[in-house]
Copies of this chain bind each other. A is one copy, B any other.
Amino acid sequence: MPRKPQYDRDDLINRARDLFWARGWAGTSLKDLEGELKLKPGSFYAAFGSKDALFELALRRYARDGTARLHNLAETHGALTALKLYPRLVIDTPDAPAKACMMTKTLLELQAQDHPLAGVANDNLRRMEQAFAQLFQQAQADKEIGATYDPFSLARRYQSDLLGLRMSAERTGVDALAIAQEIADGLDRL
């Protein structure tokens, strides 16, 4: 019978994700990770190989969870309502380690260095944009928004505004919930 691992791998990845999300790639050292995950260097290496490999796991999980949350919203409320609820949802998260999107933070930090993780972030942002476009298409099919709009242009702008919203939510003294409401209201005018 194989020995049960001494740790819950899923939980470790979640904790690493939160640390990376809050502090970024350069701001999180191997030592920080080993401390947070309570792993000795040898166990860390055996479990994840490297900081970059773990960062990539964490980033992919972050992206997958974001898409899943969006799809759940759409199944429950329909496409347009999901798109209207999502802005508020992503910033109204008292337990999240940061308001800004982890993919964005990664891209901003690592793009200038041509780091491979910036490419992973880019790919995942693109996938998220496609998920938004599909919902705009669905909203058109459901006659919730006008048929003349290009769903890909709508998704591009919507995602851009969401990225701005999440950055605004990081600032002190900015009423980001009001911005989220304005983005939602804007969708009603389509």
Residues of chain A touching chain B, judged by Cβ–Cβ distance below 8 Å, are 22-24, 26-27, 97-98, 100, 104-105, 107-109, 111-113, 122, 125-126, 153, 156-157, 159-165, 167-168, 170-176, 178-179, 182
Contact = CB atoms under 8 A, between A and B. Distances in A.
Given A156-B178, A161-B164, A182-B157, A107 B171 contact: yes
A71 to B, nearest CB: 22
User: 9 closest Cβ contacts across the A-B interface?
Assistant: A164-B164, A26-B26, A22-B112, A160-B164, A163-B164, A160-B168, A163-B167, A160-B179, A26-B27
Q: Give the interface SS of chain A, mostly helix, strand, loop or mixed.
A: helix
Q: What is the copy number of this chain in the assembly?
A: 2
Contact of A172 (B122, B159, B176, B179): B122
30 contacts: A24-B24, A24-B26, A24-B108, A26-B27, A27-B109, A27-B112, A27-B113, A104-B108, A105-B109, A107-B167, A107-B170, A108-B167, A109-B109, A122-B172, A126-B171, A126-B173, A153-B178, A156-B168, A156-B174, A156-B175, A156-B179, A157-B179, A157-B182, A159-B164, A159-B168, A160-B164, A160-B168, A161-B164, A163-B167, A167-B167
